[in-house]
C-alpha cells in the first residue's frame, strides 16, 4: 500500500516542489492549505506575507498541475488564539516573540497533523529546509540542518516532539534553494520564480503597533521614562510593547552618539538605552526547553543560536530544574532578547532549544 502524505501547501515554491517530489516517489499525496488570517495585504508587493487568499489560489493551481487533490481548511480561530494572542501577550510582557516557531508546532504539527491523521495519512510533509535521521537503536529521530546553509530552517522546528517528528517529512532538506526553483520550473509549476514571504502574515508592512493596539484587551500602551544606564531620564518612551532589545530607531532622543535599547522593565514601565557595548552579554537563561536528543544531566558543549539569522556561538549549556537551562557563551553575544528562541546544536544536529527568559551579565 502506498504511503499517504498530506503536504502543507502555502502557495510558495518550496511546499509546491515538496508535493511534486513526493508524488513522483509514488506517495498518495493530498495538498492542504491553511487559511489563518483575513487581514489587509501589505501595501508593498516586495513585503509579501504568507497564507493570503492569493497564496491559497497559487497552492490550488500547483496541486492541479501536479495532479493531486487539494483542500483549504479554515484555522483562523485557533491561529488567533494560539499564535496572534501569544504574539501580543509577549510584547506586553516586555519580550520579543517569534510567532513562526509557534505556528509550526501548533498549527502545522498539531492542528494540521491531527487532520492528516483523520484523513488516514501516514505523514505530514512541509517545505522546510531540514532533515531527519534515525539515531542510536533507531527509536529516536534527530533533527538535522538542511544542506543549504543559507536556507536551513531547523531553528524553527526545535519545539517539535519525537511524536511529531515521527510523522514529519521534509523532502527539501537535501536540496539547495536554487535546485528547488529549478526543479519547480522543470515541472511546470508557475510558482518557480515566486518571491518569498518577508513579513509576519498578520503584521502587514511590519506595523505591529497597530496589532498591539487592536488586540490590547484593555492593556495600556502607557508612556514612561526612557533612561540611560545610570538611571538618568533622557526622554519618554511610547509604551514598552513598542521596543525590543537592540533597537536603535524610533527612540525619539538625540544625544550625539548612537544609543540602543538595552533593557525593558514592564513592572516599572521603563526602557533603558545605552551604547552598543552594553548590549554584549555573557549568557542567558531559557525556559520551556524541548530536548530532541536526550540531554546530559550535566553541562554540555554546544553552538547556540539566539535568533534565526544568528551564526551561532560556542557555549556551555547547563540543565536547571523546571525545564530551564543556563547558557554561558565563550565570547559575549550581542542583543540577547527575551522571547526569542535559543536553539542548541552539535554540528548540524539540533540538540534542543528553549525560550530566552533573561540575559545574564
pLDDT band at 138 (very low <50, low <70, confident <90, very high): confident
Q: What would the DSSP string read from start to end of 319-343?
A: E-STT-EEEEEEEEEE---TTSEEE
pLDDT band at 196 (very low <50, low <70, confident <90, very high): confident
CATH for 221-274?
Answer: 2.30.30.280
Residue predicted with more confidence, 46 or 285: 285
Predicted local distance difference test score (pLDDT) of residue 171: 98
Predicted local distance difference test score (pLDDT) of residue 47: 45
Q: Which of 146, 134, 140 is nearest to 348 (CA)?
A: 146
pLDDT band at 360 (very low <50, low <70, confident <90, very high): very high
pLDDT digits (tens, 9 = 90+) for 274-303: 999 999 999 999 999 999 998 877 899 999
Mean pLDDT of 347-353: 97
Q: How many other CB atoms sit within 10 Å of the CB of residue 359?
A: 22
Mean pLDDT, the chain, as a whole number? 94
Predicted local distance difference test score (pLDDT) of residue 41: 57
The CATH 2.30.30.280 portion of the chain extends over 221-274
Q: Which CATH number fits domain 4-205: 3.30.590.20, 3.40.50.620, 4.10.520.10, 3.20.20.70?
A: 3.40.50.620
Predicted local distance difference test score (pLDDT) of residue 124: 98
Q: Which of 296, 241, 292, 244 is nearest to 105 (CA)?
A: 292
pLDDT digits (tens, 9 = 90+) for 91-106: 999 999 999 999 999 9
The CATH 2.40.30.10 portion of the chain extends over 280-360
Question: What span, in angstroms and rounded, lies between the C-alpha atoms of 358 and 95?
Answer: 9
Question: What span, in angstroms and rounded, lies between the C-alpha atoms of 346 and 154?
Answer: 13
Q: How many other CB atoms sit within 10 Å of the CB of residue 344?
A: 28
pLDDT band at 172 (very low <50, low <70, confident <90, very high): very high
Percent of the chain scored above 90 by pLDDT? 84
Predicted local distance difference test score (pLDDT) of residue 139: 83
pLDDT band at 50 (very low <50, low <70, confident <90, very high): low
The CATH 3.40.50.620 portion of the chain extends over 4-205
Handedness of CA 114, 120, 123, 128 (dihedral sign): negative
Catalytic residues: 103, 201
Mean pLDDT of 262-274: 97
Q: Does domain 280-360 have CATH number 3.90.1280.10?
A: no
pLDDT band at 339 (very low <50, low <70, confident <90, very high): very high
Predicted local distance difference test score (pLDDT) of residue 40: 59
Mean pLDDT of 206-227: 90
Mean pLDDT of 112-128: 97
pLDDT digits (tens, 9 = 90+) for 79-90: 999 999 999 999
Task: Name the pTM for this structure.
Answer: 0.94
Decide if pLDDT at 7 tops 60. Answer: yes
Q: Where are the alpha helices (DSSP H) in the chain?
A: 13-24, 53-66, 76-79, 85-92, 99-102, 113-118, 162-166, 177-186, 208-214
Amino acid at each position: 500500500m502506498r504511503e499517504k502524505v498530506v503536504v502543507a501547501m502555502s502557495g510558495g515554491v518550496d511546499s509546491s516542489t515538496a508535493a511534486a517530489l513526493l508524488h513522483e516517489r509514488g506517495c498518495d499525496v493530498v495538498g492542504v492549505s491553511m487559511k489563518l488570517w483575513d487581514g489587509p495585504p501589505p501595501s508593498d508587493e516586495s513585503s509579501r506575507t504568507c497564507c493570503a487568499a492569493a497564496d491559497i489560489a497559487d497552492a490550488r493551481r500547483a496541486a492541479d498541475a501536479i495532479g493531486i487533490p487539494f483542500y483549504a481548511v479554515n484555522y483562523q480561530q485557533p491561529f488567533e488564539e494560539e499564535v496572534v494572542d501569544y504574539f501580543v501577550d509577549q510584547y506586553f510582557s516586555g519580550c520579543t516573540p517569534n510567532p513562526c516557531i509557534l505556528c509550526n508546532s501548533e498549527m502545522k504539527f498539531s492542528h494540521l497533523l491531527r487532520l492528516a491523521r483523520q484523513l488516514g495519512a501516514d505523514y505530514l510533509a512541509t517545505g522546510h529546509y531540514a532533515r531527519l535521521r534515525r539515531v542510536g537503536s533507531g527509536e529516536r529521530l534527530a533533527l538535522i540542518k538542511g544542506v543549504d546553509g543559507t536556507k536551513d530552517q531547523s531553528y524553527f522546528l526545535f519545539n517539535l516532539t519525537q511524536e511529531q517528528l515521527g510523522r514529519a517529512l521534509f523532502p527539501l532538506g537535501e536540496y539547495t534553494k536554487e535546485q528547488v526553483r529549478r526543479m519547480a520550473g522543470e515541472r511546470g509549476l508557475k510558482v518557480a520564480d515566486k518571491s518569498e514571504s518577508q513579513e509576519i502574515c498578520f503584521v502587514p508592512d511590519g506595523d505591529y503597533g497597530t496589532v498591539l493596539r487592536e488586540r490590547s484587551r484593555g492593556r495600556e500602551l502607557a508612556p514612561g521614562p526612557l533612561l540611560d544606564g545610570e538611571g538618568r531620564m533622557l526622554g519618554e518612551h511610547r509604551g514598552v510593547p513598542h521596543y525590543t532589545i537592540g533597537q536603535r530607531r524610533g527612540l525619539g532622543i538625540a544625544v550625539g552618539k548612537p544609543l540602543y535599547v538595552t533593557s525593558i522593565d514592564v513592572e516599572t514601565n521603563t526602557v533603558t538605552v545605552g551604547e552598543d557595548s552594553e548590549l554584549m552579554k555573557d549568557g542567558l537563561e531559557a525556559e520551556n526547553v524541548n530536548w530532541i536528543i536526550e540531554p546530559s544531566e550535566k553541562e554540555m558543549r554546544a553552538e547556540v543560536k539566539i535568533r534565526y539569522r544568528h551564526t551561532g556561538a560556542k557555549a556551555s549549556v547547563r540543565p536547571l530544574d523546571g525545564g530551564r537551562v543556563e547558557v554561558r557563551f565563550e565570547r559575549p553575544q550581542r542583543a540577547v532578547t527575551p522571547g526569542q528562541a535559543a536553539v542548541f546544536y552539535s554540528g548540524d544536529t539540533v540538540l534542543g532549544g528553549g525560550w530566552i527568559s533573561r540575559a545574564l551579565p
